[in-house]
Amino acid sequence: MKENLKDILSNLNTEVDQATLLLYLQGKLSDEKQHEVEKQLLETEFEQEAFEGLQEFRDSKKLQSMVAQLNEDLKKKTSKRRLRRQKMELKQEPWLWITVFIMLALIIISYIIIRTSLND
């Protein structure tokens, strides 16, 4: 899985990177740059709601720690799912397929023999 998909803020808008968004929320961007960021973030309803939620954080240190914590939690959860999927995968080994084929052949042959002996 791509690492950039694991960053919680990077999926808001491809044109606004996480660092720019954090600078905006801290009020460290110029007015022109702030207007540009707002314009880009208010294009869709999802981005509007996410942006409004991020603006509710008043303490920038709290915001940065929350983003870091969310990113870490997201990475943990995605790695757990990936490991679980890898464990559940059936490894395709040749001896397994040969065994299945032989078992099916024996079952079919046994059925034919039993069927013919009962008919006689």
- Residue 99 has a pLDDT of 93
Q: Output the pTM of the full model.
A: 0.41
Question: Taking all residues of the chain, what is their mean pLDDT, rounded to a whole number?
Answer: 78
Mean local confidence (pLDDT), 47-67: 74
Q: CA dihedral in degrees (103, 108, 112, 115; nearest 10)?
A: 90
- Res. 101: pLDDT tops 90: yes
d(CA 97, CA 73) in angstroms, rounded, equals 40
- Res. 23: pLDDT tops 60: yes
d(CA 71, CA 6) in angstroms, rounded, equals 6
Mean local confidence (pLDDT), 50-72: 75
Mean local confidence (pLDDT), 52-77: 77
DSSP string, 33-62: HHHHHHHHHTSSHHHHHHHHHHHT---HHH
d(CA 20, CA 10) in angstroms, rounded, equals 11
d(CA 53, CA 46) in angstroms, rounded, equals 11
At residue 28 the predicted structure's pLDDT band, cuts being 50, 70 and 90, is: confident
Share of the chain above pLDDT 90, in %: 17
- Residue 60 has a pLDDT of 66
